[in-house]
Amino acid sequence: MRGICALTVFLSHVVLWSNLAPRGVIESWLQRGLTTIYEVFTVLTWPTGGQHPAVICFFVLSGFCVHGPFESRITRDGPAVAWGTYFVRRTRRIMPVYWAGGLLGLLVVMAMRWRPVADQLLMLHSAATPAQMAARLGGYGGLWHQEIFAGNYTLGTVAVEILIYLAYPLFFLAAAAGRWRLLGGIALGLQLLALALQPFVNPYVLFSSVLVMAFFWYLGALAAHGRQTLGWQVSGWWIVATWALFLGLKAIPHFYGLNMVKQAVWGVVCMQLVAWLPDWEKRHEASRVRGWARLLRWSGEISYPLYAVHTPMILLVNWAMLATADSRSYPGQLALNLVGSVAVAVAVHRGIEKRFYRQRAVS
């Protein structure tokens, strides 16, 4: 599921940001075909005016995967936790890859300062002040009051997740005390606070902030609690019914409050999927050897580096092609954006992520 989410974000950005004009009938068909696939995807999954559906699912998965082991610990050992170890592990898990993505974004900014190109996408995403770069590389961008592009806009969601990880000990203490309704009320209350603040705060900052995204993390943690402690069994028909409700809500004209309801329902769809999938995998153990399953597991392994580096890699490819008058090929741009991003993601996974986190986790 993590692999599907990573590929979805990556491929949707490749389609949107490969912006060279196609030449000839075949290239035009290719562009229209990719655009049609993207539009169908948005109709089926994207909350109107809301976050990318895979980003919402990432937060649900994060809540499920981070809280799941701690939920087991509550029932086995009680609420005693070595929080120093927790913070070291979270830092090793998040920050090295985060810094790699941030430095690649800085490379985009430097390239545009060295040789500017007249492209709206590049000009927008290369915008950065020294204070914004400090907030990005310092990891406190989730507290920043402005949008931070700095060559890697997508790292903003990681900065929000960092805030959630910092606050997790408080969440755990409430969860260990069985205060799940209180935690849910707080998560919904933060959403209402975001609504109340929207006349005064940049909406692009506000509706991507921890005030909104914490609710989806809570849903993932709740799914872990439901599966491990309450014995939840999620039917596939529940997922279908909730997805149908989501599509029905999408047909209603939107405004801020309703958009957040649509996002919340999509978050519940993701929560049900997360709770349902492990049981499905147990029933279909033989599927693990199939090619599509191996591909998704592999994409899941590189999902965080792919998410962290694909934006600056796409921007660097676009900059290089636009800065070179004789290399403006739409298929070439697509291919380089695909292959270049995956190659760098694999390099970061092997050279940084596994070095700082994976091997340490095994030991």
CA nearest neighbour of 266 among 38, 49, 57: 57
Among residues 304, 310, 305, which one has the least CA distance to residue 108? Answer: 310
N-terminal to C-terminal alpha carbon distance within the chain: 26
Give the distance from CA 179 to its chain's centroid. 27
**Spatial distance between the Cα atoms of 161 and 212, rounded to a whole number of angstroms:** 11
Query: Residue 302: phi, psi to the nearest 5?
Result: -100, 15
Among 132, 65, 76, residue whose Cα is nearest residue 270 = 65
Euclidean distance between CA atoms 319 and 311, whole angstroms: 12
Torsion angle of the four alpha carbons 340, 61, 162, 6, in this order, in degrees rounded to the nearest 10: 10
Contacts of 347 (CB under 8 A, 6+ apart): none
Rounded distance between C-alpha atoms, residue 328 and residue 218, angstroms:
45
3-state secondary structure 97-131: HHHHHHHHHHHHHHHHHHCCCCCHHHHHHCCCCHH
Q: What angle do CA 180, 183, 184 make, to 5 degrees?
A: 85
- At residue 164's C-alpha, the angle toward residues 160 and 169, to 5°, is 165
Tens-level pLDDT at each residue, the chain (363 residues): 999 999 999 999 999 999 999 999 999 999 999 999 999 999 999 998 889 999 999 999 999 999 999 998 876 666 678 899 999 999 999 999 999 999 999 999 999 999 999 999 999 999 999 999 999 999 999 999 899 999 999 999 999 999 999 999 999 999 999 999 999 999 999 999 999 998 899 889 999 999 999 999 999 999 999 999 999 999 999 999 999 999 999 998 877 788 999 999 999 999 999 999 999 989 988 888 888 889 999 999 999 999 999 999 999 999 999 998 766 899 999 999 999 999 999 999 999 999 998 654 433
Measured distance CA(337)–CA(332) in Å, rounded? 8
